[in-house]
């Protein structure tokens, strides 16, 4: 299983959903397409082993829009628990984890 | 608040009682010296105690020392708890103030007070600053404030709801839809009221 230090290898500020939101930098779409591309195939759900571990120790800001785009996008393939089994969250604060869980539970907000 | 005041008075009374007991204990010790060494200091006070008085002073003295130990231990812990609660209360008040400050900006957006896209973007940037500020702040003080999972979720829900609201958070000025805005306002206020109630309840409980 790959372990990705999100704050160092991607960006410490994760706020934008896509290129159109605010300055559009380090968006959720960009992250998903770069690191979670394999999970966009329905046949990979539900996986036997975790696909990736995301380390949030160097992440300073985490927004609901970014979280929705990265995590809730997969609610079309799996339920919240399965998503968090495939994409493990490591070294994450309780507030940031609550933001991600809330987004997964509420579902993807883009058609 | 009243309970805490009563508790303080109670422990202060124990403190005074302890001092009295300790004084009696000292007198006993001094009287013991009087019999053995004829200490000059004792001669000045001319302390003379009977056997039963000595027995009582030992009991009082020992009780005084034990109570004194517990008094200082408990008093310190109560003082620490009071100051911790005071800090937690002011932090929650700050979060509440920030929520209301974001609310004022949201009201402006929903009432289409922005004159142009630049002003609208500036208002949305303000919202981002406030909410990310609240969450960073909550991340740092969470243990001090002792928020439960439900309370944390209530605070997280507000920004989640705002970020889903197209009119408040995403679409440009020409695309603004008043009917959708009313629905979004309704959903937003439900989450805001829950978050505010969480803060107020927690402030009241401290």
Q: What totals of helices (H) and strands (E) does chain B contain, helices first? A: 6, 0
Residue A106 to residue B135, Cβ atoms within 8 A: no
Question: Which of A63, A95, A96 lies closest to B163 in CB terms?
Answer: A63
Per-residue pLDDT at A57 = 96
User: Looking at the whole model, is its pTM more than 0.90?
Assistant: no
Residue A96 to residue B139, Cβ atoms within 8 A: yes
Domain B83-205 is of which CATH architecture?
A: Up-down Bundle (1.20)
The H or E element spanning position A78 is none
Domain regions of chain B by residue span: 2-80, 83-205
Domain regions of chain A by residue span: 2-106
Determine the distance in angstroms separating the CA of A102 from the nearest CA of chain B, rounded to an integer. 7
Determine the distance in angstroms separating the CA of B141 from the nearest CA of chain A, rounded to an integer. 11
Phi and psi at residue A92, to the nearest 5°? -115, 140
CB B136 within 8 A of CB B162: no
Query: Which of A7, A21, A95 to substitute to test the interface with B, most B CBs within 10 Å?
Result: A95
**What would the pLDDT profile of B143-152 be if each residue is shown by its tens digit?**
888 889 999 9
Measured between beta carbons, which residues in chain B are less than 8 angstroms from residue A24? none
Determine the distance in angstroms separating the CA of B105 from the nearest CA of chain A, rounded to an integer. 17
**What would the pLDDT profile of B38-94 be if each residue is shown by its tens digit?**
555 555 455 555 666 667 777 777 887 888 888 888 888 888 888 888 998 999 999
Interfacial A residues in 14-43 facing B (CB < 8 Å): 15, 21-22
Predicted ipTM > 0.95: no
- Residue where the block lists tokens 């929903």: B110
Q: Which long-range contacts (CB under 8 A, 24 or more apart) does B55-63 make?
A: B57/B24, B57/B25, B57/B27, B57/B28, B58/B25, B58/B28, B60/B21, B60/B24, B60/B25, B61/B21, B61/B22, B61/B24, B61/B25, B61/B26, B61/B28, B62/B25, B63/B21
């Amino acid at each position: 299983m790959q372990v990705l230090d999100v704050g160092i290898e991607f960006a410490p500020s994760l706020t934008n959903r896509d290129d159109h939101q605010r300055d559009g930098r380090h968006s959720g779409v960009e992250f998903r397409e770069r690191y979670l591309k394999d999970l966009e195939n329905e046949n990979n759900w539900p996986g036997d082993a975790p696909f990736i571990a995301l380390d949030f120790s160097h992440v300073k800001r985490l927004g609901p829009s970014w979280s929705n785009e990265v995590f809730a996008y997969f609610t079309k393939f799996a339920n919240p628990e399965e998503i968090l089994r495939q994409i493990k969250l490591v070294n994450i604060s309780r507030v940031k984890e609550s933001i991600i869980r809330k987004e997964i539970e509420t579902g993807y907000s883009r058609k | 608040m009243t309970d805490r005041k009563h508790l303080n008075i109670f422990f202060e009374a124990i403190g005074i009682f302890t001092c009295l007991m300790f004084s009696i204990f000292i007198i006993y010790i001094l009287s013991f010296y009087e019999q053995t060494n004829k200490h000059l200091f004792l001669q000045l006070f001319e302390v003379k105690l009977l056997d039963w008085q000595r027995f009582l002073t030992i009991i009082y003295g020992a009780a005084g020392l034990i109570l004194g130990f517990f008094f200082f231990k408990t008093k310190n812990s109560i003082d620490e708890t009071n100051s911790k609660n005071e800090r937690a209360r002011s932090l929650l008040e700050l979060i509440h103030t920030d929520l209301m400050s974001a609310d004022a900006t949201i009201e402006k957006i929903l009432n289409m007070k922005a004159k142009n896209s630049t002003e609208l973007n500036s208002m949305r940037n303000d919202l981002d600053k406030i909410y990310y500020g609240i969450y960073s702040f909550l991340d740092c003080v969470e243990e001090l404030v002792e928020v439960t999972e439900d309370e944390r979720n209530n605070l997280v829900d507000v920004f989640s709801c705002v970020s889903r609201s197209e009119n408040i958070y995403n679409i440009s000025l020409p695309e603004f839809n008043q009917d959708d805005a009313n629905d979004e306002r309704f959903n937003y206020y439900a989450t805001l009221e829950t978050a505010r109630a969480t803060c107020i309840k927690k402030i009241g409980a401290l």
